[in-house]
Amino acid sequence: MKSATLALILFGLSACATTRGPAGPVGPTKINPASLAANPAAYDGREVEVVGLVVWEFERLGLYQSYGAYCRGAEKSAIAVDWHSWPGVTKADNRRIALVRGTFHNRYGVAQHDGSIVISNGAPGPGPLEPGSIVRWLSLPDKPCPKALP
């Protein structure tokens, strides 16, 4: 009887320790902004968790790979995010690094199912990343980019 109870407990614990579902890991896909920007169609409609630089500026609403990429204007390493619709994010959070979670959609600058193309001046890259949550702020706001050299 004791061995049957012990086997049942061990079986239950092993089931609890499983972190994979039938199709792979459970939870959001962890990815960086540059990888999302490089292959947006592969992540369309998927929940993602991304670490990047929050940028809330005119025509630059997005999540950038890094401060350096943002200052160089490297749009190929950024995704579009409309921070206006995200709870808990304000303009004061401009140029802060954050871990964010949301659903990515490949709608900007790409052909749609009806054949149309959606273009957004405020989109530094593909997207948008639909409102989710700021999981954690990882920095204070950074300074503006240095001015271009003459």
**What's the rounded Cα separation, in Å, for the pair 110 and 93?**
29
Condensed to tens digits (0 to 9), the pLDDT of residues 12-53 reads: 444 444 444 455 557 899 999 999 999 999 999 999 999 999
Q: Which fold has domain 27-137?
A: OB fold (Dihydrolipoamide Acetyltransferase, E2P) (2.40.50)
* Contact yes or no for 142/116 (Cβ under 8 A): no
| Range with top average pLDDT, 106-110, 121-125, 133-137 | 133-137
What is the Cα–Cα distance from 124 to 70, expressed in whole angstroms? 10
This prediction has a pTM of: 0.75
Domain boundaries defined on the chain? 27-137
Q: State both tokens at 60.
A: 């630059």
**Cα 126 from chain centre:** 11
